[in-house]
Amino acid sequence: MNNISVETESLDFLRAEIQADLESGRYNQVRTRFPPEPNGYLHIGHAKVVSIDFGIAEDFGGKCNLRFDDTNPAKENDEFVQAIMDDIHWLGYDWEDRLYFASDYFEQTYEYAEQLVRQGQAYVDDLSADEVREYRGTLTEPGTDSPYRNRSVEENLDLLRRMRAGEFPDGSRTLRAKIDMASPNLNMRDPIMYRIMHVPHYRHGDAWCIYPMYDWAHGLGDSIEGVTHSLCDVGYKDHRPLYDWFLDQLDIDHPRQIEFARYNVTYMVLSKRRLLQMVQEGYVNGWDDPRMPTVCGLRRRGYTPEAIRDFCERMGMSKASCVADIALLEHCIREDLNLRAPRALAVLRPLKVVMDNYPEGQVEYFDVDNHPLKPELGTRKVPFSREVYIEQEDFMEVPPRKYYRLSPGREVRLMNAYYITCTRVVKDTEGSILEIHCTYDPASRGGDTLDGRKVRGTLHWVSASHALDAELRLYDRLFTRENPYDVEEEETWLDSLNPNALEVLMGCKVEPGLAKTQPGNHYQFMRQGYFCTDPDSTIGHPVFNLTVPLRDSWAKVQNKT
- The catalytic residue positions are 37, 262, 272
Q: What is the helix (H) or strand (E) element at residue 31, kind and residue range?
A: strand 31-34
Fill in the DSSP letter of residue 516. Answer: T
What DSSP string runs through 41-108?
Answer: --BHHHHHHHHHHHHHHHHTT-EEEEEE----TTS--HHHHHHHHHHHHHHT---TT-EEEGGGGHHH
**E strands along 313-466, which residues?**
322-324, 343-344, 346-347, 350-355, 364-369, 379-384, 387-391, 411-414, 419-427, 433-441, 458-459, 462-463
Angle of helix 44-59 relative to helix 13-24, nearest 10 degrees, comes to: 30
- Cβ(514)–Cβ(440) under 8 Å? no
- Cβ(75)–Cβ(280) under 8 Å? no
- Cβ(193)–Cβ(213) under 8 Å? yes
* Residues 125, 163: Cα–Cα separation, whole Å: 11
Residue of 414, 440, 435, 411 lying closest to 424 (CA atoms): 435
Output b/e per residue, 108-136; b: 16+ Cβ within 10 A.
ebbebbbebbeeebbbbbebeeeebeebb
Q: State how far the alpha carbon of 390 is from the alpha carbons of 64, 134, 413, in Å.
A: 53, 69, 12
- Cβ(461)–Cβ(477) under 8 Å? no
* Residues 92, 248: Cα–Cα separation, whole Å: 36
Q: Tell me the three-class secondary structure of 412-423, residue by residue.
A: EEECCCCEEEEE
